[in-house]
A = this chain, B = another copy of it.
Amino acid sequence: MDKTDILPDKKEAIMNAALLLFTKRGFYQTPTSLISKEAKVATGTLFHYFKTKEELIDSIYAISKKEYKEALIKGFYESSTIKEKMRTLCKNSIRWAVKNPEKHMFIRLFCSSPVISGEIREDVEKRFTFIDDLFSEASESEIFTDADPRLHFIFCISSINGACDYIIENGLQDKSEAISETVFNLIWDGIAKKGIN
């Protein structure tokens, strides 16, 4: 899990090629032979680094999520209010997705796919419990309208993902900061009790 640091050239080449191909063509339409070809390694080399094709996808998923997490928390703990924390998450999230569209797409495509092993998925989810905590706290502080915090959470995630789709589909990368501000307001106006700041 921590070999991330100094990846052998070939391993990295394989993962990069696979990320591109999986997002462009899908997992099952991407033969391992094509991945090794694009990565300019022999077919056997792929299986030297990854026992199976699924292990390769697991690794990409884990790394992408790790990077996403790192981007997500930038400035989070420095934000003083719940509203600020949420704004930070919202902006970080959109910013990262726009800068790393393949990784973002990869996560969305495979987050609910049975291709990702349950084990990896659980490991990864642990990194994000701090968000659940934030929503619970907000609920308890009566900042949010009455509703299951999980519903609020899903509402936020969905809206953020929708915004990313919007930006990428319409090529609005250069306006993404403004859009993420707009989206955060849409969300906050829905979620927060009137009069809360």
Contacts and interface: CB of A to CB of B under 8 A. Distances in A.
Interface in A165-182: 165-166, 170, 179, 182
Contacts of A120: none
Given A147-B182, A190-B187, A190-B190, A162 B170 contact: no
A163 interface: yes
Contacts of A151: 163, 166, 179, 182-183
A155 interface: yes
Contacts of A147: 182, 186
Nearest to A147: B182
B154 A165 contact: yes
Interface residues of A, number: 33
Interface of A: 25-29, 113-114, 145, 147-148, 150-151, 154-155, 157-159, 161-163, 165-166, 170, 179, 182-183, 185-191
A170 B150 contact: yes
Nearest to A192: B189
A190 B179 contact: no
A36 to B, nearest CB: 15
Contacts of A186: 145, 147, 155, 190-191
29 contacts: A25-B114, A26-B28, A26-B114, A27-B28, A28-B29, A145-B182, A145-B185, A147-B186, A150-B166, A150-B170, A151-B163, A154-B162, A154-B165, A154-B166, A155-B162, A155-B163, A155-B186, A157-B162, A158-B158, A158-B159, A158-B161, A158-B165, A159-B190, A185-B190, A186-B191, A188-B190, A189-B189, A189-B190, A190-B190
